[in-house]
């Protein structure tokens, strides 16, 4: 059964106020057509889970510029002065995490774990409000699973059943975010029939993907 | 050989001397990135990039950019033979799990405990955490590569960090354009001065207490 839909059809599933996971690292590996469609429809008040601030007007920087983001859960904002300003002005709420913690919290949600213990952040501002556990003489922070209503992925190649292959550094958060959202939409650059991707080469199995849309290129 | 004359290149050159054959190394954004310019291919060093690969080569030449191939600073880069891509979870298994030999990163401040601050300036915001905290916690050796003072001339090597610290970990070495300093449990030990720089000049630009042994050397090629 084909999971392919148009971007318009996919957009019917996205609503104001949702929590959205977006993969990418400074814009590399982030879906383009889906973000453009969100901006066009002005779907707002979003909580966005994304590694960094990307650049002004690029990737999630576009959502920031369009004023559609209420809260960001992220690790780094310095590359996007528009986001830095929106946070300083109190227009966007920011939860800042170490990158390794962000990805493990998402993985914990996808893997059915109750949380993870990490030494990263112990004795720093990241520790505030969190449970510290000491095991065998080492302190760890208890970090809780992080889920989303929706994950919007970006793959170089995908089949109609949702099996995905990524290209170079565009893989980043994609395979992990695919596991931790109620609805997973994959924007693929090259759409192929089921069977055309070697099972050995599939990175994200199609069972994680609900909807496949074609990218803009 | 003649030593590099620009402060950032001098720092990068000196840090490069700390790296050993075959090590896995992560370079932070900015001055640390320049370290790779001073590593010969025969050293067989593998550079890991937190956005998802090992085997990073030189920056790509303009017009020869490879799609979806950037470093952790968003610059276009190339690969060396033996490179491998992976997702962010694997990247931080490598980083936090102790599989990186050396990380080189910049800092806003370093203090007498050997703690560094590099992610946030209260009231002004900051670059953010990115992979920095995980790198400092998980890497076998951490080298701070930074200019000795702030742009306004104020010291960056201070008694206690005034900015939020990145981790409760003593870094292994501090390399600046003026000096090489080794944090120890007794305090910060001055190991080398840059060519043309005196010990007194280093002390004048450092507000932290420095231990000055008799055998302070000079950075030499």
Residue A137 domain-assigned (yes or no)? no
State the residue range of the domain holding A85: 7-113+145-214
Q: CATH topology for B7-218?
A: Glutaconate Coenzyme A-transferase (3.40.1080)
Contacts of B69 in chain A (CB under 8 A): 168-169
Share of chain A above pLDDT 70, in %: 100
> Of B137, B20, B134, B131, whose CA–CA distance to A76 is shortest?
B131
Residue A136 domain-assigned (yes or no)? no
**Span A182-204, mean pLDDT?**
98
Residue B3 pLDDT greater than 90, yes or no: no
Measured over all CA atoms, what is the biggest interatomic distance in chain A, rounded to whole angstroms?
A: 54
CB proximity A208 to B under 8 Å:
no
- What phi, psi does B169 have (nearest 5°)? -135, 135
Give chain B's mean pLDDT.
96
Our count of domains for chain A comes to 1
Residue A33 domain-assigned (yes or no)? yes
Give, in order, the Cα–Cα distances in Å from B86 to each of A53, B77, B89, B136. 22, 16, 8, 21
Cβ–Cβ gap A172/B52 under 8 Å = yes
Predicted confidence band of residue B122 (pLDDT cuts 50, 70, 90): confident
For every residue of chain B, DSSP letters joined together read: -PPP-SHHHHHHHHHHTT--TT-EEEE-SSGGGGGGGG--GGG-PEEEETTTEEEEEEEPPTT-PPTT-B-TTS-BEEEEEEEEE--HHHHHHHHHTT--SEEEE--SEEETTS-EE-S-BTTTB-SB-TTHHHHHHH-SEEEEE--SB-TTS-BSEESS-SSPPS-S---SEEE-SSEEEEEETTEEEEEEE-TT--HHHHHHT--S-EE--TT-EE---
- Interface mutation vs chain A, best among B51, B75, B91, most A CBs within 10 Å: B51
Tens of pLDDT, residue by residue over A115-163, are 999 999 999 999 999 999 999 999 999 999 999 999 999 999 999 999 9
For every residue of chain A, DSSP letters joined together read: ---B--HHHHHTT--TT-EEE---BTTBT--SHHHHHHHHHT--SEEEE-SS--STTSTHHHHHHTT-EEEEEESB-TT-HHHHHHHHTTSSEEEE--HHHHHHHHHHHHHT-S-EEESTTTTSGGGTTS-EEEETTEEEEEE----EEEEEEEEEEEETT--EE--GGG-TTHHHHTTSEEEEEEEEEEEE-TTSS-GGG-SB-GGG-SEEEE---
Residue A30 domain-assigned (yes or no)? yes
Tens of pLDDT, residue by residue over A37-49, are 999 999 999 999 9
Cβ–Cβ gap A120/B133 under 8 Å = yes
Give chain A's mean pLDDT.
97
Residue A17 domain-assigned (yes or no)? yes
Cβ A94 vs Cβ A72: under 8 Å? yes
Cβ–Cβ gap B52/A52 under 8 Å = no
Residue B25 pLDDT greater than 90, yes or no: yes
Mark out chain B residues that contact chain A at CB-CB < 8 A. 49-53, 66-70, 72-74, 85-89, 91-92, 95-96, 120, 125-134, 137-138, 164-168
Predicted confidence band of residue B5 (pLDDT cuts 50, 70, 90): confident
Residue B1 pLDDT greater than 80, yes or no: no
How far is B74 from chain A, CA to nearest CA, in Å? 6
Enter the ipTM: 0.97
Choose among A26, A122, A176: nearest Cβ to B88.
A176
Cβ–Cβ gap A74/B165 under 8 Å = no
Residue A139 domain-assigned (yes or no)? no
Residue A140 domain-assigned (yes or no)? no
Cβ-based neighbour number of residue A28 at 10 Å = 24
Residue A217 pLDDT greater than 80, yes or no: no
Contacts of B100 in chain A (CB under 8 A): none
Residue A175 pLDDT greater than 90, yes or no: yes
- Interface mutation vs chain A, best among B29, B50, B55, B68, most A CBs within 10 Å: B68
Mention every residue, 6+ apart, whose C-beta is less than 8 A from residue B137. Answer: A119, A120, A122, B96, B167, B169
**Span A3-22, mean pLDDT?**
97
What CATH number does the domain containing A81 carry? 3.40.1080.10
How confident is the model at residue B220, as a pLDDT?
86
Mention every residue, 6+ apart, whose C-beta is less than 8 A from residue A112. Answer: none
**Span B78-88, mean pLDDT?**
97
Tens of pLDDT, residue by residue over A54-103, are 999 999 999 999 999 999 999 999 999 999 999 999 999 999 999 999 99
Residue A91 domain-assigned (yes or no)? yes
CA distance A197 to A192: 8
């Amino acid at each position: 059964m084909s999971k392919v839909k148009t971007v318009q059809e996919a957009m019917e599933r996205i609503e104001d106020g949702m929590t959205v996971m977006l993969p990418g690292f400074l814009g590399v590996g982030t879906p383009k057509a889906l973000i453009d469609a969100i901006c066009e429809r002005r779907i707002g008040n979003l909580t966005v889970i994304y590694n960094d601030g990307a650049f002004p007007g690029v990737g999630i920087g576009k959502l920031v510029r369009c004023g559609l983001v209420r809260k960001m859960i992220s690790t780094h904002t310095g590359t996007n002065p528009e986001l830095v300003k929106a946070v300083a002005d109190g227009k966007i709420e920011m939860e800042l995490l170490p990158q390794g913690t962000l990805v493990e919290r998402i993985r914990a949600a996808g893997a059915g774990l109750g949380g993870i213990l990490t030494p990263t952040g112990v004795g720093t501002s990241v520790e505030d409000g969190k449970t510290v556990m000491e095991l065998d003489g080492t302190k760890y922070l208890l970090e809780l699973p992080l889920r989303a209503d929706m994950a919007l992925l970006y793959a170089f190649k995908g089949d109609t059943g949702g099996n995905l292959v990524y290209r170079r550094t565009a893989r980043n958060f994609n395979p992990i975010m695919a596991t931790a959202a109620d609805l997973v939409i994959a924007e693929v650059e090259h759409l192929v029939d089921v069977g055309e991707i070697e099972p050995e080469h599939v990175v994200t199995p199609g069972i994680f993907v609900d909807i496949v849309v074609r990218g803009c290129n | 050989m003649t030593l590099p004359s620009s402060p950032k290149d001098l720092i990068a050159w000196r840090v490069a001397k700390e790296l050993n054959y075959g090590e896995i190394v992560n370079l932070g954004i900015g001055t640390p990135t320049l370290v790779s310019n001073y590593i010969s291919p025969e050293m067989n060093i593998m550079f890991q990039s937190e956005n998802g690969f090992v085997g990073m080569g030189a920056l790509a030449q303009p017009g020869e950019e490879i799609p979806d191939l950037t470093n952790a600073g968003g610059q276009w880069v190339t690969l060396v033979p033996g490179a491998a891509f992976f997702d962010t979870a694997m990247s931080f298994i490598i980083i936090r799990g102790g599989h990186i030999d050396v990380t080189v990163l910049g800092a806003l401040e370093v203090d007498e405990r050997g703690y560094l601050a590099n992610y946030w300036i209260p009231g002004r915001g900051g670059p953010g955490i990115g992979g920095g905290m995980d790198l400092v916690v998980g890497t076998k050796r951490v080298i701070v590569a930074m200019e000795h003072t702030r742009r306004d001339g104020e010291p960056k090597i201070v008694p206690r960090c005034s900015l939020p610290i990145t981790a409760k970990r003593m870094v292994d070495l501090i390399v600046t354009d003026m000096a090489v300093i080794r944090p120890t449990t007794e305090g910060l030990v001055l190991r080398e001065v840059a060519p043309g720089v005196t010990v007194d000049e280093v002390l004048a630009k450092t507000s932290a207490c420095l231990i000055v042994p008799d055998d302070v050397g000079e950075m030499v090629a």
